[in-house]
A and B are shown apart, each in its own frame.
Chain A
Amino acid sequence: MQVLIKRDQLNHAVQHVLKAVSTRTTIPILTGIKMLVTDEDMTLTASNSDISIECSIPFEEDGEEIVNVMRPGSIVLPARYFGEIVKKLPEDTIEIDVKENFLIQIRSGSSEFQLNGLDPEEFPRLPQLEEEKVFSIPADILKTIIRQTVFAVATTETRPILTGVRWNLHNGSLSLVATDSHRLANREANVETSEDLSFENIVIPGKSLTELNKILEDSDQLVDIVITDNQILIKYDKVLFYSRLLDGTYPDTSRIIPQSFKTEMVLNSRMFLQAIERASLLAGESKNNVVKLTSRPGEEVEITSNTQEIGKVTETITPASIQGDEIKISFNAKYMLEALRSIDSDEIKIGFTGSMNPFIIKPTEHDWITQLIVPVRTN
């Protein structure tokens, strides 16, 4: 393999894939970045086995030549050193030349490095993008639906499956669910797909999705997604992002979300959020971060928090509408704040079915998102 390449574009791609290089691994090959050069394109790939990132470098950009292939081939470069070297090379153009026994020569101006590479054959095989299994969604929407669900995944390993976000796809409708068993986030979105494509119980680690969101930008460019037996593959611009899937069966959440309510109210999101924030100033001291919401028909909604040693806070808020029974319910303020922040809507609707049962929060404008919170029981 021998190739001439512009430093800035190479550096850009290297920094992208470095996010997936594992620092601690028992598998030697994963400390490297795989570089593949064919007559058509050039890609860099890195993997920590949980996530993998592949980034392609175009041969030409805006009429300027980026890559000049003298001899196609592939090599695995030691990631840590290569990343630093590329950043610091003196000239705009870098020549990478792979000799016998995976010996790599890097030249740029007066500088010449020799690095020991690894056999590219040893690198993990990543699934290929199969056109007929693809569904697509704009990048900004994908980013949003991930943000609106991923915060609710479990952080403890007691039930590993709950550390992921469950994806289902039916009739062109993608449904994401995350829960740590104290609250649940549900988000639906329409995707572009061939009509017969469907799947369920695909559970993607929350950590992977958080990483993915760092790469995605707020653009309406379409992202292609493929689910294989082992991995999810997301193609965005020049980047291919892979994540392994969690193994096991996600609990059935379909019957958990209540459909009819004993008490319903509509509140101004911002005012409600701020009231909860203030109330939680005192609630923060107690273990469950508890605030209490009380409402009687025709009266203002009251939010209180009471910590014996510190004091008491009472917030009142006038609902835009309220109907049904009176309600008195306690919940963890942190869960409420996170749920409210995830809903981008001026007004929200809250539906209760009793002080011991989960309640839901939805935007008034649409039905795409449902946040559910399990209350705290108090005597």
Chain B
Amino acid sequence: MKDRVIFLADMQSFYASVEKGDHPDLRDKPVIVSGDPERRSGIILAACPIAKSWGVETAEALWQAQQKCPHAVVVRPRMQRYIDVSCQITAIFEEFTDLVEPYSIDEQFLDVTGSRRLFGDPLAMAQKVQQRIMEKTGVYARIGIGPNKVMAKMACDNFAKKNENGIFWLTRDKLETHLWPLPVHKMFGVGSRMKRHLNNMGIRTIGQLARFPLEKLKRKWGIPGHILWMTANGLDASPVTPGTHDTQKAVGHQMTLPRDYADEKEIKVVLLELSEEVGRRARMKGYAGKTVAVGCRGADFDVPTGFYRQQKLDEPTNDAMDIYQAASRLFDRFWDRLPIRSIGVTLTQLQSDEEYQLTLFDNQYKKRQLGHTVDMIREKYGATAVIRAVSLLPAGQALDRAEKIGGHYK
């Protein structure tokens, strides 16, 4: 396959950078973005480079960070704002190519193979991209360039982030000289557990993995083994697919609870709230789903408890009560009665909501009209303008959640 030119742009300390961009007075201060310190989600989501120079690390507890850097400015996350900025950045990328694939909120792939004639050689183009983002959003982007997605990703993680100009082009001829000497856990797709396995097999560098007999890897891990070997050899044929996140196969909503829930009645309240949210999202996107899935986990993630189960419905639906009833049945059947700390509801086998079979004993049309009406009220007057009465019970999360996105304050 002819080599392409792929960028992986990574936004440095994305949340913290957005905060600094929005609040210029914070520019020279150590900024930490952290979840609500009063709740268990009080961990560091992002830290600006100044805070990091004091030893603050992402994912550590807030109190730990504050010990290292007592003068740090702690900001509550504003997820909606970050999503907006992320979309803004996508729009900037789209000035350069129409092949933009958001990989996460702060990482995006660009296929600029066809853009070179317009914007010059890849390095120059990367600089332009970097400048535009800085100008428009105040965020510093690091860009890895490679002949495919994995090479671009590894170019960014291992080199561009350490380069002075934040750009690195990992060409094929640099594979052996630059990538292969690196320890194997620096490779994309190798976590700590995989690193242990590989080390046990005598594989310590990416180069050793690249030269390891493919057959042995395949025998040991099957297709994932094959992919590891291909990554080490800089091979990857996957295309940059715009809007990967749009073609939806499922609508789901999951939440971590502020405490253990062990009472069936309390869990049912949350289940209903989740169903309500899943129904709302499905309606918003014009979907109805034929399968409902429920998953839950216990508090101790080291001793995994809980289940993930799904059930087919007779009719596709996006009605909260229909989803809730199916979710509730699943829960009744599979819950082992151990306390849970995290729970989610998912609607899958989506199909268009434009067309649906009416039924004799159950007014589908009215149910959907009601759903849409509630959606409209909420859109106009806020998410808590209409809530279910059970959400007022202590178990309810809806009021609290309404102020958050992804579990964090907007």
Contacts and interface: CB of A to CB of B under 8 A. Distances in A.
Interface in B338-390: 351, 354-362, 364-365
Contact of A379 (B316, B355, B360, B361): B355
Nearest to B368: A377
B354 A378 contact: yes
User: What 4 A-B pairs come out closest when comparing CB atoms?
Assistant: A379-B354, A181-B359, A181-B360, A378-B355
A332 interface: yes
Contacts of A184: 360
A372 B394 CA distance: 48
B314 interface: yes
Nearest to B356: A377
The contact size tier of chain A is 20 to 34
A179 B360 contact: yes
Contacts of A216: none
26 contacts: A156-B314, A179-B360, A181-B361, A182-B359, A184-B360, A256-B360, A286-B355, A287-B355, A288-B355, A288-B356, A288-B357, A330-B355, A356-B358, A358-B358, A374-B357, A374-B358, A374-B360, A375-B358, A376-B355, A376-B357, A376-B358, A377-B355, A377-B357, A378-B354, A379-B354, A379-B355
A251 interface: yes
Secondary structure at chain A's binding surface: helix, strand, loop or mixed? loop
Contacts of B359: 181-182, 374
Contacts of A288: 355-357
B360 A182 contact: yes
A181 B362 contact: yes
Contacts of B354: 378-379
Q: Which of B354, B357, B358, B359 has the most CB of A within 10 A?
A: B357
Nearest to B360: A181
A377 B365 contact: yes
Interface string A325-368: 00000101000000000000000000000001010000000000
Given A156-B314, A287-B351, A377-B365, A358 B360 contact: yes
A184 B361 CA distance: 11
Contacts, number: 48
A158 B355 contact: no
B283 to A, nearest CB: 13
A35 B314 CA distance: 44
Contacts of B365: 356, 377
Nearest to A379: B354
A332 B357 CA distance: 8
Interface in B236-252: none
Given A182-B360, A332-B357, 6 more contacts: A158-B314, A251-B361, A287-B351, A288-B357, A356-B358, A379-B354
Interface string A285-314: 011101000000000000000000000000
B289 to A, nearest CB: 12
Q: Which of B314, B360, B361 has the most CB of A within 10 A?
A: B360
Nearest to A372: B360
Given A181-B359, A182-B357, A377 B351 contact: no
Interface string B72-114: 0000000000000000000000000000000000000000000
A233 B351 CA distance: 46
Contacts of A156: 314
A356 B356 CA distance: 11
Contacts of B316: 287
A181 B361 CA distance: 6
Nearest to A159: B361
A192 to B, nearest CB: 33
Interface string A138-160: 00000000000000000010100
Interface string B105-133: 00000000000000000000000000000
A257 to B, nearest CB: 10
A377 B364 contact: yes
Q: Which of A251, A358, A377 has the most CB of B within 10 A?
A: A377
A288 to B, nearest CB: 5
A199 B260 CA distance: 55
A323 B358 CA distance: 25
Contacts of A251: 361
A377 B358 contact: yes
A173 to B, nearest CB: 23
A58 B314 CA distance: 49
Contacts of A376: 355-358
Contacts of B360: 179, 181-182, 184, 253, 256, 358, 374
Interface in A191-228: none
A256 B351 CA distance: 29
A179 B360 CA distance: 9
Contacts of B357: 182, 288, 332, 374, 376-377
Nearest to B362: A181
A48 B354 CA distance: 45
Nearest to B358: A374
A58 B352 CA distance: 63
B184 to A, nearest CB: 46
A156 B355 CA distance: 22
A158 B357 CA distance: 17
A287 B361 CA distance: 21
A356 to B, nearest CB: 6
A184 B359 CA distance: 10
Contacts of B364: 377
A375 to B, nearest CB: 6
B373 to A, nearest CB: 16
A287 B358 CA distance: 14
B54 to A, nearest CB: 57
Contacts of A332: 357
A182 B358 CA distance: 7
Contacts of B361: 181, 251
A69 B263 CA distance: 70
Interface in A48-89: none
Contacts of A358: 358, 360
Nearest to A287: B351
A332 B365 CA distance: 17
A251 B360 CA distance: 10
B288 to A, nearest CB: 10
A379 B351 CA distance: 14
Nearest to A251: B361
Nearest to B313: A158
B310 to A, nearest CB: 16
Interface string A250-264: 010100100000000
